[in-house]
Chain A
Amino acid sequence: MGTLPSPDTAAREGPADVELMLRVKAHDDEQAFAAIMDRYQVPLVGFFRSMGLVNDAPDAAQDTFLRLYRYRRRYEPRASLRTFIYLLARQVCTDASRKRVRRDRMIEAFRQEQADETAQTRSPVDDAFRAEALLRELPEAMRLVVVMNIYQGLCYEEIAAALEIPIGTVKSRMFNAMARLREALRVQRQQT
């Protein structure tokens, strides 16, 4: 099974994830825990933004780390720490679901204003809005798979572990999500 380079595993230095987490598990080592947070902070904030939490992404990332610490005794070195973290991140997403719905409505209104004002120009920010508009076309289950794979660099196997679903379900969700996004992209381009 081939895997893509992982944005959140690139250019790591220092002890391996497993070693750090075992230190946290065995000794509540705060230095090791801080190193894990430094390592995963950016990917997690990015993940939550992609999942629609936008301004609350840093808080959601913090919540994920607090859960990681709370569940540190359950960590087993045979499991990837990254997978474990995203499993917790998914739980944070689920818990924040209602808030996100309300927030999405507000963001939608804001976006509409932005779109009206800047419809004639194209910039990286516009691209980001477009990408997010595309993602909003997806139900959460599909969006999780797409974000984890494309933005977070998790392979199907890791996604299956993080979402606690069969790998076949990951494949079909990914395919269906890509097909929906293809249609959404087509519509988006027709509109611009």
Chain B
Amino acid sequence: MCKDNKLEGSAPVSCSRAEEAAGFVRGELSDPERASFEAHLGDCGACRTLVSDFREVVGALGARPAVAFDPAFAARTLAKLREVEAGSEPGILLRVRKGPWPRVAGIAAGLLLVAGAVLFWRIDRQAAVGPGGNGTRQAVDSALAWLARDQLPSGAWNSARWQGQKEYDVALSSMALLAFLRHDGVSGTGVHADTVQRAVAYLLAQQDAAGAFGPACDGRMYNHGLATVALIEAYRWSGAESLRAPIGRAIGFIREEQLESGGWGYAKRVGAEANTSISVWQLYALNLAQESGLAESPAVLGRGMRWLHGMVDGNGLFGYERAGDFPNGSDTLTAMGAFCLFGNRRALGAEPAEAAKIEQALQAVASHWDRETDFYRWFFLSHAIQARGTPELRASLARIQESLVGMRSLAGATAGTWDPKGAWSSVGGRLYTTAMATLALQAGSRSTKIM
């Protein structure tokens, strides 16, 4: 028997199966349900009326005017999308400093610190959590999450958005990529695999016919060195053979750019001076490519390492263009050089007597590490300490990392990043400080050996 079915805002319908009428009209009943309801319709006038009325309703609604296809819609939306993704904010762009990267030792040292330390030399990483413990790991996670959100669809990072200089997009994007590669590292199954793939695709697209990365600006060798290192590390991460050829061309460009002295400078020209900062990036890439079985450059590498040894003075300090040359102090350069020599597992590393002096100099840098705000130095120092690995130095590393975690911005859209402060922050902006700090925190984070 049929029972009343009370409707919202309407008269009751005298059948408990009335609700099926809508599904029946709309073809939403299963085959058995439909057969059962059809049989019911033979006995229930109320439901027959409902079905008839509902069909009329559908017919009345069916008169919606057609919508014309707009052939420009997709292009217009993609343009809007790029605008949103780029996040171009006039207020920020106006604050961007123009001009070439200053030709000073500190900058070079900072850059060297960053990428060179990451991959080139042996880094004994401890158990799953680094010296800074869970706080360190969480800081790295949140920084990477911010970097991942900030990545453009092209795979690049927009330096200008965060007060960096656009001509260093390649170098800064490479720094960010290195931070992800260090995080996901050996397994290659990390949560940021997609970010890594896009960043690699972006870098590959920046390579010119000569094998060089980035625009032909003063800082090209920074862009090139960092991008080459990042791609080699990506090769180690992924095993993708498609990277072998572009890396080979990039190494070829480094060989071509080596100066008579054995080092590398801003541009290969008559009378050009090599400097420690730019040279370390190139040595880093050459060594990493060799260790990874990608490209052997024993003669070029040998000359370069000998040049670097020539930068060390009697106190174990590294100079900029020659031993004893400290235009911006010796701390960053020493951390960088120490990283380079201690990390080298081959015969081109430091001899025992020289190593003892360099270690002493490094210990001194670590003892007053926060005298100045310099993320380059901190990154390089962290990895040089890790490479040398004495208990005293490791204790310093734990203190540095703990302090870095405490320096993070904690509020707003930039929470988890490091505010652009100190040396070279006006060149690299927030991308630089955040990538550098993240890489510094990753020193000692795992038991994996980089080289």
A150–B74 contact, CB under 8 A?
Answer: no
A30 and B78 form a contact (CB under 8 A)? yes
Pair A2/B197 contact, Cβ less than 8 Å: no
Q: Do residues A2 and B27 form an inter-chain contact, with CB atoms below 8 A? A: yes
Closest A residue by C-beta to B21: A175
Flag if A176 contacts B10 (CB, 8 Å).
yes
- The interface residues of chain A lying within 8 Å CB-to-CB of B81 are 33, 65-66, 69
Q: Does A27 lie within 8 Å of B197, measured CB to CB? A: yes
Complex: chain A residue closest to B76, CB-CB: A62
Least distance between A172 CB and chain B CB atoms (Å): 6
Binary CB contact string for chain B from 4 to 46 against chain A (1 if under 8 A, 0 otherwise): 0001111101000011011101111111001000000000000
Closest beta carbon of chain B to A13's beta carbon, Å: 14
B198 lies within 8 A of A28 (CB):
yes
Check if B371 is an interface residue, CB within 8 A of chain A. no
Total inter-chain residue pairs, C-beta < 8 Å: 147
How many angstroms from the CA of A69 to the CA of B74 in the assembled complex? Answer: 13
Please, how many angstroms separate the alpha-carbon atoms of A187 and B70 in the complex? 37
Could you tell me if B80 and A49 are in contact, using CB atoms closer than 8 angstroms?
no
Q: Bound complex: CA of A66 vs CA of B81, how far in Å?
A: 6
Determine if A11 is an interface residue (Cβ-Cβ < 8 Å). no
Q: Mark A155-188, 1 if CB is under 8 A from B, else 0.
A: 1100000000000000110111011111101000
| Chain A interface size range | 35 or more
Residues of B within 8 A of A2 (CB): 27-31, 34
Any A CB within 8 A of the CB of B187: no
Q: How far is the CA of A95 from the CA of B412 in the complex (A)?
A: 23
Residues of B within 8 A of A33 (CB): 74, 78, 81
Say yes or no: is B210 at the interface (Cβ < 8 Å to chain A): no
Interface with A: B50-58, B331-339, B422-430, which one?
Answer: B50-58
Closest to B57 in A: A181
Instruction: Bin the interface of chain B by size.
Output: 35 or more
Q: How far is the CB of A47 from chain B (nearest CB, A)?
A: 9
The reply on B94 being an interface residue by CB < 8 A is no
Q: Please, how many angstroms separate the alpha-carbon atoms of A25 and B198 in the complex? A: 11
Tell me the bound Cα distance from A175 to B198 in angstroms.
Answer: 48
Interface-side segment among A74-82, A97-105, A107-115, A121-129: A121-129
- 8 A Cβ contacts from A41-75 to B: 41-42, 45-46, 49-50, 57-58, 61-62, 65-66, 69, 73
Q: Are B63 and A174 in contact (CB under 8 A)?
A: no
Would you call B19 and A149 a contact (CB within 8 A)?
A: no
Task: Kindly report which residue of chain A lies nearest to residue B60, judged by CB atoms.
Answer: A185
* A127 lies within 8 A of B63 (CB): yes
* B binding-site residues for A, Cβ under 8 Å: 7-11, 13, 18-19, 21-23, 25-31, 34, 50, 53-54, 56-58, 60-65, 67-70, 73-78, 80-81, 84, 153-155, 194, 197-198, 201
29 contacts between A and B (CB under 8 A): A1-B28, A1-B29, A2-B27, A3-B27, A4-B27, A25-B194, A26-B197, A28-B154, A33-B74, A33-B81, A38-B73, A41-B73, A45-B70, A62-B76, A66-B84, A69-B81, A127-B63, A131-B60, A131-B61, A132-B64, A150-B61, A151-B64, A156-B28, A174-B22, A174-B26, A175-B22, A175-B23, A176-B8, A180-B9
Knowing that A1-B29, A130-B63, A182-B50 touch, tell me 6 more A-B residue pairs with CB under 8 angstroms: A34-B74, A45-B67, A131-B63, A174-B23, A178-B21, A179-B10
